[in-house]
Amino acid sequence: AKTMVAMGIIAMSLFVGITFVATHLNLLPSEEESVLSQLTREVSGTGFLYYWVQFFTMMILILAANTGYQDFPRLSSFLAKDRFMPRWMQNRGDRLVYNGGIITLAIIASIIVIAFQADEIAMLPLYALGVMLSFSLSQAGMVHLMSKVGKLKPGETAYTGVTTIHYETSWRWKMLLNGVGSVVTAVVLIVLIITKFGEGAWLVVIAIPMLVYLLRTIRDHYTHVSEALSTHNLKMEALQDIADVIVIPIGDVHRGTLRALQYAKRITSNVRAVYVSTSDTARERVERRWNRFPAITGDVSLICMDYEYRDVLTPLVDYIEKVNHEEYPNQIVTVVIPEFVPQNLAAQLLHNQTANLLRARLRGHEDIVVVDVPYHI
C-alpha cells in the first residue's frame, strides 16, 4: 500500500509540475513535437539532458505499450475461465504465455492502427475514454466490495466467489474514497464522450456495449452446452443404441477403399458398400475390380445404384437416410468414408471434394456418425 501511495504521489507531482511549467511557458500541443519535448528544450536547451529525457520517455512508452500484452492475455484467461470468452484463451503456449490473448490483441491493435492510419492524435480519445472507463469501473467495484466488507462482523471472513474478504475497521473511509474517485472519473468520462464524440469517441460508445453483449452471448452459449451435455437425471433408456451396420460410399475400388473395408469389418459383419453408377461401363469396371479381392470383399454387400444425373451425393444421402430411418430407427448408423491424402498440401485441393461435400451433408444428421479412413500416398 505504501508503494502504491508513493507511486501515486510521484505521478501526480510530475503531472502537476509539467502542467504548471507548460502553462507558464505558453507551450501548445503540436504534431511535430510533443509538449514534453518542447518543455525540456525550453528549460535545458538541446544538450545532453534534452536527449536523456527523450530517451527515457521513449522507454517508458515502450513499457506502457508492452503492459497491454502482459495484462490483456491474463485478463482474457480469467474471462475464459468464467466462460465469458472462448476457453482456448486460457491455454498457455510452449513459452508459458497465453498465446490466444496475445494474438487477439495484436490483431485488434493492428486493425485500429490501420483504420486510424497510425495517427496517434486521432487515437488519443480512444485511450482517454478507455482509461477513464477503467478507473470508473474499478472504483465502483471497490465501493461494492467495501459494502460487502461492512456487512461482516469483526474477525469474520467470507468468500465472494473470486476472493476471500475479511472485516476491516476502515471500510467506511475506503468506501468513501473509492466512491469519490468513481464519481470524479465518471464525470470526466462523460465530458470526454460529449466533447470528443465526433473525434472517435463514438467508436467506444458503440463498441463497448457490443463487446459486453458478445461476452454475455458466449457465456449463455457455454451454459446451454453444459446443460445439454449434463448427465444429471439421465436415464439409460434415453441413450441411443448403436446400429449393427456400416455404410461405405465408394467411387472406385482402390487401396484406400480396401483399407476402409478392412477397418469396417473389424467393427461389424454387416458392412454395405454403396456405389452410384452413372454409366454401364463404370459399373462393370467397379464390379470387376471388386471381384478381384474376394478375401476382403467376399462377405461385404456391394450395392450399385443407377443414377442418370451426375449428382452422386443425392442418392448416397437418400440411401443412408433410408437405412437410418426405416431399417434402424432411433439408432446411430455409422458411415465410413475412404479417402486418400496426398503428401503435397496443394494437391489435396484436387481430391476428396466429393467426400468433403458428403461429410458436410451428413453433419446435420443427429443419428449418423461419419468416420474417415485416410490412406496416405
Give a yes or no: residue 8 inside a domain: no
The last residue of one of the domains, among 158, 189, 224, is: 224
216 and 250 in a single domain? The answer is: no
259 and 214 in a single domain? The answer is: no
The last residue of one of the domains, among 224, 252, 269, is: 224
Segment 72-82 mean pLDDT: 91
Segment 219-277, tens digit of pLDDT? 999 999 998 888 888 777 667 788 889 999 998 899 999 999 999 999 999 999 999 88
> What is the tally of structural domains in the chain?
2
Counting residues of the chain whose pLDDT is more than 70, the rounded percentage is 98
Give a yes or no: residue 229 inside a domain: no
Query: What angle in degrees, to the nearest 10, is found between the helix axes of 171-195 and 201-229?
Result: 120
Whether the Cβ atoms of residue 351 and residue 342 lie closer than 8 Å to each other: yes
Give a yes or no: residue 235 inside a domain: no
Give a yes or no: residue 126 inside a domain: yes
The last residue of one of the domains, among 192, 224, 256, is: 224
Give a yes or no: residue 262 inside a domain: yes
Amino acid identity, position 312: V
213 and 287 in a single domain? The answer is: no
62 and 170 in a single domain? The answer is: yes
Whether the Cβ atoms of residue 337 and residue 260 lie closer than 8 Å to each other: yes
Give a yes or no: residue 338 inside a domain: yes
Segment 210-227, tens digit of pLDDT? 999 999 999 999 999 998
250 and 209 in a single domain? The answer is: no
| Cell numbers that stand for 56 in this block | 527515457
85 and 132 in a single domain? The answer is: yes
Residue 247 CB burial class (10 angstroms; 0-12, 13-18, ≥19)? buried
Q: By residue range, what is the domain housing residue 159?
A: 21-224
Give a yes or no: residue 46 inside a domain: yes
Give a yes or no: residue 114 inside a domain: yes
41 and 159 in a single domain? The answer is: yes
Counting residues of the chain whose pLDDT is more than 90, the rounded percentage is 35
The pLDDT, as a whole number, for residue 218 is 95
219 and 268 in a single domain? The answer is: no
Those residues whose C-beta lies under 8 Å from the C-beta of residue 276, and which sit 6 or more positions away, are 249, 304, 305, 307, 312, 315, 316
d(CA 272, CA 158): 63
d(CA 332, CA 245): 9
Q: Which of 50-64, 224-238, 320-334, 359-373 has the lowest mean pLDDT?
A: 224-238
170 and 49 in a single domain? The answer is: yes
Segment 313-351, tens digit of pLDDT? 888 999 999 999 999 988 999 999 998 888 777 777 776
The CATH number linked to 269 is 3.40.50.620
194 and 246 in a single domain? The answer is: no
When computed from its CA atoms, the radius of gyration of the chain, rounded to whole angstroms, is 34
The pLDDT, as a whole number, for residue 238 is 65
210 and 263 in a single domain? The answer is: no
95 and 199 in a single domain? The answer is: yes
CA dist list (Å): 180 to 64, 73, 170, 218: 27, 30, 16, 34
d(CA 70, CA 205): 25
Q: How confident is the model at residue 352 (pLDDT cuts 50, 70, 90)?
A: low
Segment 96-108, tens digit of pLDDT? 888 899 999 999 9
Phi, psi (5° rounding) for residue 253? -110, 105
Q: Write the DSSP assignment of 273-318 as a string of letters.
A: EEEEESSHHHHHHHHHHHTT-HHHHTTSEEEEEE-SSS--HHHHHH
